[in-house]
Amino acid sequence: MEKLGINLGFLVVQTINFLIILLVLKVWVYTPLQKALKKRREAIDKGLEDARVAAEARENAERDAAGILAEAQNNAAQLIRDAKEKAEVAGREVKAGVEADIARTRREAVVEVERERERVLGEIRTNVASLAIAAAQKLIGEALDEKRQHELVAEFFSGIKGGKVTILEGNELKGQKAEVVSALPLTAEEQKVIHGEMLSKLGESAAIDFNVDPKLLGGLLVRVGDTVIDGSVAGQIQNLRDTLE
């Protein structure tokens, strides 16, 4: 070894020193450094995992938030639609109520007008009877049987003579509904007589309506389905006019 220029003792000492230094480095530097690096790597890995979990949580939160927002928007839209439909229904109900009130008021007004019309026409009938009797008495210059004259006027307007409805005699009628039209309102007793005779021809289940049309002048007009029996004064005048032409 000496020939090679190597001092064995020095080499041994240097080797021992190197091993000591290596041991010291391993114990006091390398091992702590590995541990530190390991902890650092674990911390980084944990940080990355936490970041990944946080990112997933954020994505889930964003997705949940988007779903909640969409659901809220849908619910809001549905609430708006429901409110609009309810408003429309309420509006239609209010409109229907107003229209029903208007229709009812109109019907009541029509009924009231018809009632007043019949009352006035009833008074006219009474006045016509009185005027006819007075005119007849003045014309012949003597007093007439006033009771008989009233009966004649009643026959003129009601078409009832001797307790019978003259225009119904000899006529066959079929139907479930009939209309009796007079020039002026009939009395309750006259309607009772006419009603009874109509039912005897049509059957007890038939419906009889009484109406007033001053254009008839006098007498009665009866409609049963397509059948019309015209015993009115206006009808007789028209027949006479047609005959003369």
Least confident piece of the model among 24-33, 115-124, 180-189 = 115-124
Nearest to 238 by CA among 210, 212, 219, 211: 219
Name the pLDDT band for 179 (thresholds 50, 70, 90): very high
| Residue 130 Ramachandran class (φ > 0 left, ψ -120 to 50 alpha, else beta) | alpha
pLDDT beyond 60 at 143: no
Mean pLDDT over the full length of the chain: 78
What's the pLDDT at 209? 92
User: Euclidean distance between the first and final Cα of the chain, in Å?
Assistant: 174
What is the average per-residue pLDDT within 16-35? 76
Give the residue-averaged pLDDT of 108-116.
76
pLDDT class for 223, splitting at 50, 70, 90? Answer: very high
Q: What is the pLDDT of residues 183-219, one digit of tens each?
A: 888 888 988 998 998 898 888 888 999 998 888 888 8
Residue 140: enclosing H or E segment and its boundaries?
helix 31-140
Q: What's the predicted TM-score (pTM) here?
A: 0.49
The residues pairing with 178 across neighbouring beta strands, listed in sequence order, are 208, 224
Q: How far apart are CA 105 and CA 10, in angstroms?
A: 135
Determine which helix (DSSP H) or strand (DSSP E) holds 165, and give its type and residue range.
strand 164-165
pLDDT band at 163 (very low <50, low <70, confident <90, very high): confident
